[in-house]
Structure 1
Amino acid sequence: MKRKPREFSLEAACYIKDHSKYHKITYGELKRMKELDPEAFSSRWFIPIGGALLEVDYQNYQDFYRAKERQDYLEALDEEYYAISYETLKEQTHREKEAISFKEVDVNKIVEASMLFEELRKALSRLNKDEATLIKALYFEDQTVKALANRQDVSVHTIYKQKKRILQKLRKMIEG
């Protein structure tokens, strides 16, 4: 799968392979070569390295973008969970360390949530097959209402009505 090319200045360096040797050209020259002979470049793979483009084989191209996607994913997790490096913690003063607060655990809420979860599990087991399938798809398999409607060949509105009815039924089972 080719990725959307990143924009480079026309003067940026590009290194293309020609008989196992690299030749340096500008990005502008590379674009012109691609326009003149798009078929010749359809099976050539480039990765950005230090502001330049480097031609590589397909396996290296895949490895590069797999590693880049993994790095982006890890950075997103760090951001989501407010990751702090060990080095940062070592450099902070004692007062700054105390400023990092952790939420206190409310045991009562944990117990209540566990009990509700158990009641929900029991209520789910009492649903008929179609109801259970719908709830499982929406809430445990992260399927969309639209996808379910298409798969079952019904309207989106029908799926919403079924979902609402089933959730009301579950609520009554849990409260009753």
Structure 2
Amino acid sequence: MAKEYYLYVKGKAVPVSEEVYKAYWKITEHEKYLQRKDWKHNVMSFSALDHDGHFVDNIIDEKIDLEKIVEVKMQIEELNKALATLTKEERELMEAIFYREESLRSIGKKEKVSYQTIGKRRDKILEKLREILKDKI
């Protein structure tokens, strides 16, 4: 006696061949495997984002403030323009202090002046930059 195979469609048992039955379950088990893998790696399908018919609204990341990013980018551009107006010595001092994070003492030792002198130069340069950027930022 041959074994009978059934698949359920809308709650009703439909007789199918062994080949169709095995193919159906192979696909079904593969889908379950992929779903378990997605859960394990916290992957979300695009169709999950379209639960209410507003796909585009559901993928917007509201944690990112695009206006703020653009504003900061424009400020950085203005700062770079202002830095370009400095003399070579002024620019080198600013790079040493703010980019290479050298101490005022170590810079003073290199230039054979006191750290207070380096601090005064720094303050003078920063005031110059403030004046340049006053109306732009």
| TM-score normalised per structure 2 | 0.52
Higher relative contact order (CA 8 A, sep 6+): 2
Is it true that 1:162 corresponds to 2:121 in the alignment? yes
Counterpart-to-counterpart distance in 1, 2:96 and 2:118: 11
Is it true that 1:111 corresponds to 2:80 in the alignment? no
Is it true that 1:127 corresponds to 2:116 in the alignment? no
Counterpart-to-counterpart distance in 2, 1:103 and 1:148: 44
- Deviation (angstroms), 1:90: 4.1
Amino acid at match of 1:174: L
- Note closer, same or farther for the CA distance 1:104–1:165 as it changes in structure 2 (3 Å cut): same
Counterpart-to-counterpart distance in 1, 2:62 and 2:131: 33
Aligned length: 79
Counterpart-to-counterpart distance in 2, 1:171 and 1:115: 16
User: Which structure would you say has the larger Rg?
Assistant: 2
Q: Could you list the structure 1 runs, at least 4 aligned residues long, displaced by more than 3 angstroms after superposition.
A: 89-92
Counterpart-to-counterpart distance in 2, 1:118 and 1:170: 13
- Deviation (angstroms), 1:167: 0.7
Could you tell me which runs of 5 or more consecutive residues in structure 2 were left unpaired when the two chains were aligned.
Answer: 1-38, 43-60
- Deviation (angstroms), 1:151: 0.5
Counterpart-to-counterpart distance in 2, 1:133 and 1:111: 28
- Deviation (angstroms), 1:121: 0.4
Query: In structure 2, what is the equivalent of residue 147 of structure 1?
Result: 106
Query: In structure 1, what is the equivalent of residue 52 of structure 2?
Result: none
Amino acid at match of 1:153: K
- Note closer, same or farther for the CA distance 1:106–1:167 as it changes in structure 2 (3 Å cut): same
- Deviation (angstroms), 1:128: 0.8
* 1:21-65 residue CA offsets vs partner (Å, 9 max, x unmatched): xxxxxxxxxxxxxxxxxxxxxxxxxxxxxxxxxxxxxxxxxxxxx
Bigger proportion of residues as strand: 1
